[in-house]
Amino acid sequence: MNSSVCRGWIDHRRHTPRIHAFRYRIGMLYVDLAEQEHMLGLSRLLRPWSWAPLCWRERDYLPSRTRLGVPLVDAVRQILNEALGAAPQGAIHLLTQPRSWGLSFNPVSFYFCHEANGRLAAILCEVRNTPWRERYHYVLPVPPGESCAFRVAKAFHVSPFLPRDMDYHMGFLVQDTHIRIRMENWRDGHKVFEADLALKRHPLDASSLRRHVLAFPWMSLRTVSAIYWQALRLLFKRTPLYAHQASEDGLSLGQTAHKDPNHARTDPERYQGW
């Protein structure tokens, strides 16, 4: 199988106006969307039922389309076609935290979209915010032969502790058994915040799913609890709050990112040397 169980670490660090940092262990699934039926047959721990230890169902993703009956693969390709004028027709791999014991929450899910020849052609980022439960997506095209380094204007209010008038600098690496994703928030030429996700992939089978559930029995709840605990710590530090700015339809708007060759050149070790 191309699908896998992923385990690793998520690091957050805020540089201004208050220094704040934390690091957590994290477990995720890396799902080849063509393998969904096979994946659901591996273990009773992973089922399409809401209250399963791990629940996989398409309508938890891109719900403005999948809850209308559009298969998730088609929903992803529709968005890419609307943003780019064409959609790659190869494999789509989704990095995500599945619903756990009835609770579904993903700050961000990543769809790695390939051409038929296997080349990574685009990355779709599906973002959710707290506590407003809105969704947004960013489309990141990957031209042939170029590194996965991007710069895009922030267009969706994610956290009450960060303003919306910022730029994202993003870097991705999916290589053999390792996945690394880095995201930085920049404002007026200064780095305000950075997050680093480092994962190791393990073959997806019944035993790896069992180990995953034992290691991360309440992953969705842990994620939500960590968000509110860190928010409380930021309040104690008197970190400024920013008023919520809703997206135009509050559901599933999107934006296409552009390559940032200057950023990739000036920071090669961060984005090209993983």
Question: Do 250 and 60 contact (CB within 8 A), yes or no?
Answer: no
CA 23-29-35 angle, to 5 degrees, is 170
Q: How far apart are CA 76 and CA 269, in angstroms?
A: 31
Phi first, then psi: what are they for 32, rounded to 5°? -75, 115
pLDDT at 254 over 80: no
Averaged pLDDT for residues 102-121: 94
pLDDT at 15 over 70: yes
Q: Which tops the pLDDT comparison, 133 or 167?
A: 167
Instruction: Give residue 269's pLDDT.
Output: 35
Q: How far apart are CA 62 and CA 93, in angstroms?
A: 14
CA atoms within 13 A on the CB side of 244: 12
Place of tokens 């303003």: 163
Averaged pLDDT for residues 83-106: 93
Phi first, then psi: what are they for 215, rounded to 5°? -80, -35
Look at residues 122, 84, 96 and name the one whose alpha carbon lies nearest to residue 36. Answer: 96
Instruction: Give residue 253's pLDDT.
Output: 40
Instruction: Give residue 1's pLDDT.
Output: 86
pLDDT at 259 over 70: no
Rg (CA), the chain: 18
Question: Do 66 and 74 contact (CB within 8 A), yes or no?
Answer: no
Q: Which tops the pLDDT comparison, 234 or 246?
A: 234
pLDDT at 193 over 50: yes
Instruction: Give residue 192's pLDDT.
Output: 96
| Per-residue model confidence as pLDDT tens digits over 171-192 | 999 988 999 999 999 999 999 9
pLDDT at 108 over 70: yes
pLDDT at 222 over 50: yes
Averaged pLDDT for residues 29-33: 98
pLDDT at 12 over 60: yes
Lowest-confidence range among 5-9, 54-58, 261-265? 261-265
Phi first, then psi: what are they for 143, rounded to 5°? -65, 150
Average pLDDT score, the chain: 88
Q: How far apart are CA 199 and CA 196, in angstroms?
A: 10
Q: How far apart are CA 179 and CA 48, in angstroms?
A: 26
Instruction: Give residue 246's pLDDT.
Output: 66
Banded pLDDT at 266 (limits 50, 70, 90): very low
Instruction: Give residue 255's pLDDT.
Output: 53
Instruction: Give residue 247's pLDDT.
Output: 59
| Per-residue model confidence as pLDDT tens digits over 119-133 | 999 999 999 987 777
| Per-residue model confidence as pLDDT tens digits over 144-153 | 888 899 999 9
Q: How would DSSP label each residue in the chain?
A: ---EEEEEEEEEEE-SSS-EEEEEEEEEEEEEGGGHHHHHTS-TTEESSTTSSEE--GGGSSHHHHTTT--HHHHHHHHHHHHHSS---S-EEEEE--BBTTB---SEEEEEEE-TTS-EEEEEEEEE-TTT--EEEEEEE--TT--SEEEEE--S---TTS-SS-EEEEEEEEETTEEEEEEEEEETTEEEEEEEEEEEEEE-SHHHHHHHHHHSTTHHHHHHHHHHHHHHHHHHTT---------SSSS-EEEE-EE-HHHHHH-HHHHT--
Banded pLDDT at 257 (limits 50, 70, 90): very low
